[in-house]
Structures are given as structure tokens and as C-alpha cells.
A and B are shown apart, each in its own frame.
Chain A
Amino acid sequence: MLTKRIIPCLDVKDGRVVKGVQFVHLRDAGDPVEQAQIYGEEAADELVFLDITASHEQRGLTLEMARRVAETVFIPFTVGGGIGSVDDMRAIIATGADKVSINTAAVRDPDLITQGARAFGSNAVVVAIDARRCVGGSQLTWETTTHGGRRRTGLDAIEWAVECERRGAGEILLTSMDCDGTKAGYDVELTKTVADAVSIPVIASGGAGALEHFYDVLTTGCADAALVASLFHFREMSIAQVKTYLAGRGVWVRR
């Protein structure tokens, strides 16, 4: 049976990890390879590197990082952040990365999803959707945002997810901008609504703070995977702990 995935997310800038494992004994806490190895040994099912490099000139450092990760860590990984064209995608895939994640660029030009899926296969194209709850209205709805939640798009998040699938996305990385950083739990309703609307896998993101949050989003929320950032980096919780807990409650995980 297919297992539910637990996926740590690392923020990288200029080829260095700026948000990752906080270990006192790390020789170099900014080294993406060392970080990826730690998570690989802890049975992380995949890794996501979110590139927050501001300047276009430094993008080469991200590619170099991805090449080194692919040489040393034999689990799948995704690179996202600042990808705006098929050429950007190609450069990342060529390093040995498995998937690219696109967000703002996909909203601006949905055809990028189609082109990416055609060039690299759907399995390599993840669309990241940053969704925010709409206030007012009789029915609960979510709006797609970009630029880290700062910009509204007027796009209904559920309809946008369906459109992404239709255009060939292989997965949806769904972040709740309401829950992100709160540690109060994933947005289970949002996740379930999207998972019911599409037939591709949905990765839930934003809000993990306690063990039961994982259980809730992977069962009631129907997510295929759960993304985690700071909770793991600061060792408030380990992947092993999460997986042991999930297995104890009957969720199928790889250990």
C-alpha cells in the first residue's frame, strides 16, 4: 500500500540553507547537503528546497546546490521559488532534481504548467497554491494569493487547483496562509476540499504544531503528504516521532 509522506521543507538562499535543522553539532548548519543527509537518514520521504534567493545572478548557486544534493542524497527532491520559465525548469531538472514547484509564475501564465508537463512529464511539475480564507459570504471559500500571501489574485483556490490538474500538474502543494506559522494545525477543510476536487496528490502545508495535526490532515483532510518546516528544524519534533505516532493510529507510513 502507498504510504503517506512526510516532507521537510528547507529555505535556501544563495545556495545556503537559511531555515533548516538547528543542531549544535552540525559542522556547517548552512550546508544543504549536510541538512539533506540528516533528513534522509531520518526517513524523510522527500525534500523540498524553497529558493528565496533575491537576485537572478545568484541562481547558479541554487543549481550547484541541487547538483550536490542529487549526488549524495538518494531520495526525491523538489526545488521551488523564483521559477518563471520552461528554461528555469529545465536547468533545475538537469541537476538531478525530481520536481520543480511553480507558484506565482503559474498564476501569471498558466500555460507554463502545460509546457512544463509536456517537456518533463506531469510527475515533475508541482504547482504550489497559497490559499487564504475569504471572509464574509455564506459559503466557505479560499482565494489564491501570490508573493507569499501578500497579493490577491481573485482566483478561487479550488477552481485554480482543478485548472492546474487539467493543465498537467502532477501534484498540488497547498499552503494555508491562514494557518502558516500558527502551529495550530493544518487547514483540514481546505485540504479536503482541494483533495476531493482533484485526482492528483495533494501535499498539505502550513500550521503543523502537534502530532495530531498530521493525523488530522492525512486522514480527515485526505492529504497524500504533509510538509513541515520549522517544527523539524528546531527539533521540537522528529520525523521518527511523527511516523511512530501515525503508525500507532493506523496510518501507513515508511519507517
Chain B
Amino acid sequence: MIERLRIAIVDAGIGNLRSVQKGFEHVGVSPVPTDDPVVIADAHAVVLPGVASFGDGMAGLRARGLDSAILAVIERGVPFLGICVGLQLLFGSSEEMGTHRGLGILPGQVKRFSASLTVPHMGWNQLEQQRPHPLLANIPDGAFVYFANSYHAVTDDESIIVATTEYGTHFPSVVARDNVWAIQFHPEKSQETGLTMLRNFVENVYDRLPGH
């Protein structure tokens, strides 16, 4: 029963989780926003959203012991979805307002867009699919999604790049390695394309459940 899935939305106390939650509710699940490491450890899947800055996000996670809770569920193979700053936090470090150390789960850094561009990168831009991935099932190449970011990931490890987006540079907009999936845009604000991705994630979580 897909609606019984326990999906934890990590609440680092830095942003509005309401819209992500509504997006998931729309695809038939009832995720729980939580800052409790026990709830996170017990979830079928974990979502890390984020609308504030990288530094505040990491500080918010550490203050609540959520960084180690996240590392532990990822280590155990629990499906994980990072959204927006939640993608950026997975990397090694960020230069946003000073240098901050991230979770270091994925290889790479987070950098600011070139000073010659209008920043934030705000609005609808396209996904250039680099390889097939279950998150992008039924989504055509070149689909539009909604971005609002001033920073982007940079990585030498091309194997983690699922899709890129062009804004002065081609930056990774969908990345994935094993059970860790992450997207730079806002799926809950990207109409059918974004909701399809949330549905793809949820269905993948469901299909992985033991005894299913």
C-alpha cells in the first residue's frame, strides 16, 4: 500500500517544507516533516529539501544530529532524495558565504554562477538527459522544470550526472549514485514534470520494499 510508506522529510529548521510535502501528498503519500533522528532512521525513504543557504543548512543538520542520521540511512541503502540545497549539501563543500563543508557523500563542490549572469538563476529551464534513470521515467528529454538557485554543483565524476542544465555553463541538475538521488530544481513547482518525478521516486521506494 503506497500510502502507508513512511517518508521522512528532514527538517533542519531552515526553510519551508510545506510545499514539498504538498507535492508528495498529491502523488498519494503522506510524508512526515521531522527533525528526529529516530524517525529518520525508521523511514522507508528520506527526503532532504532546503530553501535556505548551504551554511545554515549544514549548521541546522549538525545542531540536531541529523547529519549523522542521514549518513547512516544512506549507508544502509535507504532511498534518499535531495532537493535544491538538499542536492548541494550532499557534496564536499560550498563557497556560499565563506567555505562550508558539506555531507561529502558525492564528489564535488558547490560554486556560484558566473558574475556576468543574472543571479539567482530563476525560472523555467530544461533538463538535458545524460543517461536513463528511474527518476526520469516518462519524462521527455528537454522537459522544463522550475529553478531558483544561485549556486550549482561541479563534479569530475561524470558517472553521477543524470541530467544537466545550461545556464552559462552546463551544470548537473539531476545526480544519482545507488540509493542517493538529487535534483537542483523544485519538483513541487514544476507542474506535471515535477510531480511525475516525485511519483517515480515514491514508486521506486515501494518496489524496493522487502516482500513486494
Q: Residues of A with Cβ closer than 8 Å to B?
A: 1-5, 40, 45, 70-71, 74-76, 93-96, 98, 120-124, 170-171, 199-201, 224-225, 254
Contact = CB atoms under 8 A, between A and B. Distances in A.
B123 A3 contact: yes
B189 A98 contact: yes
B144 interface: yes
A124 B22 CA distance: 18
B52 interface: yes
Given A40-B191, A76-B189, A98-B189, A120 B122 contact: no
- Which residue among B122, B147, B149 has the maximum number of chain A CB atoms within 10 Å of its CB? B122
B191 A74 contact: yes
B25 to A, nearest CB: 8
B19 A121 contact: no
A121 B51 contact: yes
B125 A74 contact: no
Contacts of B16: 93-94, 96, 120
B22 A70 contact: yes
Contact of A96 (B19, B123, B126, B147): B19
B15 to A, nearest CB: 7
A200 B52 contact: no
Contacts of B52: 120-121
B22 A3 contact: no
Given A2-B123, A171-B120, A224-B122, 9 more contacts: A1-B125, A2-B147, A5-B123, A71-B25, A96-B22, A120-B52, A123-B51, A199-B117, A254-B124
A98 B51 CA distance: 10
A203 to B, nearest CB: 10
B120 A123 contact: yes
Contact of B124 (A3, A74, A96): A3
B121 A74 contact: no
28 contacts: A1-B126, A3-B123, A3-B144, A4-B123, A5-B123, A45-B123, A71-B25, A74-B190, A74-B194, A75-B190, A76-B146, A94-B18, A95-B18, A98-B19, A98-B186, A98-B189, A120-B51, A122-B120, A123-B51, A123-B120, A123-B148, A124-B51, A199-B117, A200-B120, A201-B122, A224-B123, A225-B123, A254-B124
A62 B101 CA distance: 40
Contacts of A120: 15-16, 51-52
Interface string B140-182: 0000101111100000000000000011000000000000000
B148 A74 contact: no
A75 B189 contact: yes
B1 interface: no
A73 to B, nearest CB: 9
Interface residues of B, number: 37
Contact of A74 (B115, B117, B122, B195): B195
B137 interface: no
Contact of A76 (B18, B26, B126, B186): B186
B122 A123 contact: yes
B63 interface: no
A225 B121 CA distance: 13
Given A94-B16, A121-B15, A224-B122, A254 B150 contact: no
Contacts of A5: 123-124
Contacts of A171: 120, 122
B53 interface: yes
A199 B26 contact: no
A3 B123 CA distance: 7
A160 B115 CA distance: 21
Given A75-B191, A121-B51, A70 B18 contact: yes
Interface string B78-121: 00000000000000000000000000000000000001011111
A96 B190 CA distance: 14
Contacts of A201: 118, 120, 122-123
A199 B122 CA distance: 12
Interface centre among A40, A93, A121, A225 (most CB of B within 10 A): A121
B26 A74 contact: yes
